[in-house]
Amino acid sequence: MVYSCQADLDSFHKCVIISLSSSPKKVTLLHIYETKRGMKALVVGQGGREHALVRALNQSESVKEVFAIPGSSGMALEARVYPELGMSAAEIIDVVRKEKIDLVVIGPEVPLVEGLADQLRESNVLVFGPGKQGAELEASKVAAKRFMQEAGVPTSSAVMVSSIDDINNAVKS
């Protein structure tokens, strides 16, 4: 999965764009941009992945305060949480404007696939997370396989089936 930041890069200190492979030891640095110090960061989500993001952001020299929507009781020890809010673009944009958030990091797959990062970017919010199209590659094995086949990326063969007859025919071939 590729995460990225988009913003006016003149006022920033270090924004890293990375590519994460399925191997936890393989992280490819694609680019480093400048980011401003003293940023306020908002993490969207409430699970363990998002808690790890909250913790990592708190350790960054560039981040002065971390928020989480909806967050969790564990995250509340390390971030200001908004447990009463959902993960809609409108609610997140309201918090971004109210708290003067500089960066939004989206953790869960579902809001990414639903286009949350795209909606926030359309409202000029700096987002770390793939757009809907990129998230689909991670969320849908069918979409990923089609993409690799169309792009000529070496991959194992696959047959997409949607019925018992399709399954039987695939097994026979």
From residue 29, give the alpha-carbon distance in Å to each of 4, 15, 106, 122, 171: 11, 11, 19, 26, 41
What does the pLDDT profile of the chain (173 residues) look like in tens digits? 444 444 443 444 444 444 444 444 443 333 344 456 688 999 999 999 999 999 999 988 888 999 999 999 999 999 999 999 888 899 999 999 999 999 999 999 999 999 999 999 999 888 988 889 888 888 888 888 888 888 888 988 888 888 999 889 888 87
Q: CA-CA distance, 154 to 35, in Å (whole number)?
A: 36
- State the alpha helices, DSSP H only, in 100-163: 109-113, 116-122, 132-139, 141-151
Q: What is the C-alpha R_g of the chain?
A: 19
Strand partners, 28: 19
Q: At residue 41, what are phi and psi to the nearest 5 degrees?
A: -120, 140
